[in-house]
Amino acid sequence: MGKWVTFFAAAPREARAGTDPAVGRTARLKVTVNLTGDSLRLRVGNLFGDKPSRISSITVWNGRSQADVTFGGQPSVRLAPGSSLQSDVFFLPVKAGDTITFLMAIPENVPAPMSASGVWQVEYSPKGDFTMQPDFSPVSIPQQGPFPLGQPLPLLMDIELLTEEKAVGATACFGDSITEMRYWFDPLMEKTYEKPGQAVLNLGISGNRLLLPTGGTIADMAGQLFGESGLKRMPWDLLEKDGIDTVILALGINDVSQPGSGEVCPPVSERCTLEAFAAGVSRVTLTLHEKGIRVIPATITPFGGMPGCCKETLTLRREINAWLSRRAAAGEFDGLIDFASAVADPEDPDRMRPEYDSGDHLHPNPEGGKRMAAAIRL
* CA separation for the pair 345, 349 (Å, rounded): 5
Confidence of residue 150 (pLDDT cuts 50, 70, 90): confident
* CA separation for the pair 327, 179 (Å, rounded): 23
Confidence of residue 149 (pLDDT cuts 50, 70, 90): low
Compute the chain's Rg from CA coordinates: 20
- Encode pLDDT of 42-97 as tens digits: 999 999 999 999 999 999 999 999 999 999 999 999 999 999 999 999 999 999 99
| Cβ–Cβ under 8 Å, residues 360 and 333 | no
Helix (H, G, I), strand (E, B) or coil at 231: helix
Cα torsion angle, 288, 290, 296, 302, sign = positive
Residue-level pLDDT at 127: 98
Is the entire prediction scored with pTM above 0.95? yes
- Encode pLDDT of 90-125 as tens digits: 999 999 999 999 999 999 999 999 999 987 889 999
Q: Which amino acid is it at 67?
A: A
Residue-level pLDDT at 168: 95
Other residues' Cβ atoms within 10 Å of the Cβ of residue 64: 9
Other residues' Cβ atoms within 10 Å of the Cβ of residue 338: 18
Contacts 24+ apart (CB under 8 A), 125-128: 125/25, 125/26, 125/27, 125/28, 126/25, 127/24, 127/25, 128/24, 128/25, 128/26
Helix (H, G, I), strand (E, B) or coil at 299: coil
Residue-level pLDDT at 62: 96
| Cβ–Cβ under 8 Å, residues 278 and 326 | no
* CA separation for the pair 14, 10 (Å, rounded): 13
Helices (H), the chain: 177-180, 185-192, 217-222, 230-234, 253-257, 274-290, 311-329, 339-343, 366-374
Residue-level pLDDT at 283: 98
Packing angle of the helix pair 185-192, 366-374 (nearest 10 deg): 50
* CA separation for the pair 171, 369 (Å, rounded): 18
Residue-level pLDDT at 141: 87
Cα–Cα distances in Å, from 127 out to 91, 146, 180? Answer: 28, 23, 29
| Cβ–Cβ under 8 Å, residues 243 and 230 | no
Confidence of residue 143 (pLDDT cuts 50, 70, 90): confident
- Encode pLDDT of 159-193 as tens digits: 999 999 888 999 999 999 999 999 999 999 999 99
Cα torsion angle, 288, 251, 43, 161, sign = negative
Mean pLDDT of 306-332: 97
Residue-level pLDDT at 148: 63
- Which of the residue ranges 140-149, 163-172, 334-343 would you say has the lowest mean pLDDT? 140-149
Residue-level pLDDT at 119: 79
Average pLDDT over all residues of the chain: 96
* CA separation for the pair 58, 55 (Å, rounded): 8
- Which of the residue ranges 149-158, 292-301, 356-365 would you say has the lowest mean pLDDT? 149-158
- Encode pLDDT of 226-272 as tens digits: 999 999 999 999 999 999 999 999 999 999 999 999 989 999 999 99
Confidence of residue 144 (pLDDT cuts 50, 70, 90): low
